[in-house]
Structure formats: structure tokens, C-alpha cells
Amino acid sequence: MQVMTRAERIEALKRISRERILILDGSWGVMFQKEGLSEEDFRADLFPDHPGQLKGNNDILCLTRPDLVSKLHDAYYAAGADISETNTFSATWIAQEDYKLESAVRDINLRGAQLAREVADRWTAAEPDKPRFVAGSIGPLNKMLSMSSDVNDPGARLITFDQVYDAYREQVLALHEGGVDLYLIETITDTLNCKAAIKAILDLEDEGYEALPIWISGTITDRSGRTLSGQTAEAFWNSVKHAKPFAVGFNCALGADLMRPHIAELARVADTLVAAYPNAGLPNAMGQYDEEPHETAHELHEWAKDGIVNILGGCCGTTPDHIRHVADEVRGVTPRQIPERPKAMRLAGLEPFELV
């Protein structure tokens, strides 16, 4: 099997992004839930006597049920995805501390990247005109740098910037070694946490590691139009644009109908690719997602037709069938054209500030 080098894959990714709308995969959690996994699936022979419950820690499946992880990559690539994420959304020592699995973090990220790489390379060899790419998933943390952990003490924090940086550095090192094509810092609720992840990535480049594209995806948490740490869409962009990301966008929390105005705002201000992967609508009273694949695809087709996106995919509740419908709906639609904005000093707190 002839395998493209990483430099060739990155060049192909950038070229294809100029030609058409790229397709990301969909939800991982909902698909693992469909498997009806037991506690034993999460433990296997590796953690038979590990204290506490491991069920629900989907990242550990990279080690205990790699067959299911590879199967899901296969399903999303077959559905039309160009990019599939590693199963490493919570693979930092900070997040894995809840399961007492801090020592397994490097192995989870390394194996997660290797599994995705193996499946992507197999698809690329079979369909060389449609190369498949791997995004290293770098998810949010359960501890925030921007917000106090104590309402009576505005300065209280559960963690320091250096600790967050170290956690993300361990993750990005293993993802890089495992063979990812780009980093996806996603579901960002706290922009300061995101900045620690960005610094960890950029520091690797300064140390001589091969530079990889960075995709940054925030989360608008409700109808206020702000992230959990309080920023508007434009303020969020102003806070992260120094990283010169390959793509920026939003995912999770909202369905396509409620997410659209925030994606449109990013499309107006961001001088890079704009990406979006909404939930399959809002959850019902039982926490399930009812939006059918053709409904999600119809909404996202409108976004594509109106020229506000370059990358589309799905988040909570979406399945390979959702991704297949989205890929079919946007095939042949011209991707958003990146705007040229006049030079200005653009800063941000909770609101954007521009000094021309």
C-alpha cells in the first residue's frame, strides 16, 4: 500500500479546501452508546482491577476496544467524511483524573492517532482521488482558567495555566507522534484554556517538530450568543487569530438553526476557513436527539449555498447517516470565499474592539 507522507497530506488538505467544502465526521458518543457496551468493554484485560467505574470513559476504548474505534472511523469515511477525529476528546490527565487514569493518557492519544491513521491510509490507498485525513481531537477540560470555582472568591481557580499547558502538551506530543494531519481544539468553553492548548502546539513547532494545521472550534452555549466564558463570536476570533489557524468555527451545544447567526458572524470577520458541526437539533426531555439526517443536511445545505462555510460535519446526536446526507447535499457547492479585511488593531475581552 503506497502511503502519502504527512507533508503531502497537508498540502492535499489545503488544496482540496480551496476546491470544495470539506466534510468532517459526526458524533462518537452516540455511536458508542448504540453498541451497548459493558463495564468489561472499558476494562478488557488491561484494567481488570482498576478502582472505580470506567464505563463511559470512551477514550479508553482506544486501548480496550480498538476494533470499535477503527470500525467507527471506517463508517464515517464510508459515509463521505474527508476528516475523522481521533477518539481522544477527553485524553488529558486533567480530564482522566476523574477515572484515575492519568498514567494512561499518552497511550490513549498515541493509539488513538495510530488507529485513525491506519484506517485513513487504507481508504486513501483504495480511493487516491479522495484522500482521508486525521484530526487530533483536543477537547475541553472540566476545570476552567477564566472563571472562578467559588462564587464568594472571584480569584479562586482549581488549576493553573501551567498545569493546563502541561496537560495539553502531553496530549499534542502523542497525537503528533501517532500521525495526525492537523490538530482540532474543539468544544471550547474557556478561551484561556484554548490559549494554553495553542501555546503547547506552537511551542512544539519552535522546538523543531513538523508544523501541523490548527483548527479551533468554540462553543456558543445558549441563545445569548456567547461562549461559556462570556465572549461573542467576533471577540472569540480576535482572541485566537494570532495562531493563524487553518480553520475556525463552532460546534456542539446548538442545532443548526440556532448556530447559523454565529457562523455567519465568523464568516464575516475570519480571514481563514470557517467550519461548523452542530448537534442534531436540541436534545429532547430524555436527552436524545430527534433531528433526522435529511433535516440536518437541509439546514447545512442552506449554509453552504449562502457561502458562509468551508467545512461541515456533525456533533452530538449525529451519525454516519447524517454525515452521508450532508456530504450528498453540499457536493458541488462552492466553498466560502475568504474575505480580505483592512489592517487594524483588533482586540477582545468579552466584546471585540477594533482600532483602525
Counting Cβ atoms within 10 Å, is residue 16 exposed (0-12), middle (13-18) or buried (19+)? middle
Closest CA to 297 of 282, 278, 316: 278
SS (H, E, C) the chain: CCCCCHHHHHHHHHHHHHHCCEEECCCCHHHHHHCCCCHHHHHCCCCCCCCCCCCCCHHHHHHHCHHHHHHHHHHHHHCCCCEEECCCCCCCHHHHHHHCCHHHHHHHHHHHHHHHHHHHHHHHHHCCCCCCEEEEEECCCCCCCCCCCECCECCCCCCCHHHHHHHHHHHHHHHHHHCCCEEEEEEECCHHHHHHHHHHHHHHHHCCCCCCCEEEEECCCCCCCCCCCCCCHHHHHHHHHHHCCCEEEEEEEEEHHHHHHHHHHHHHHCCCEEEEEEECCCCCCCCCCCCCHHHHHHHHHHHHHCCCCCEECCCCCCCHHHHHHHHHHHCCCCCCCCCCCCCCEEEECCCEEEEC
For residues 281 and 255, the answer to whether their CB atoms sit within 8 Å is: yes
Instruction: Please state the residue numbers annotated as binding site.
Output: 252, 315-316
Instruction: Please state the residue numbers annotated as binding site for Zn(2+).
Output: 252, 315-316
Q: Which amino acid is at 281?
A: G
Torsion on CA atoms 109, 113, 115, 116, rounded to nearest 10: 140
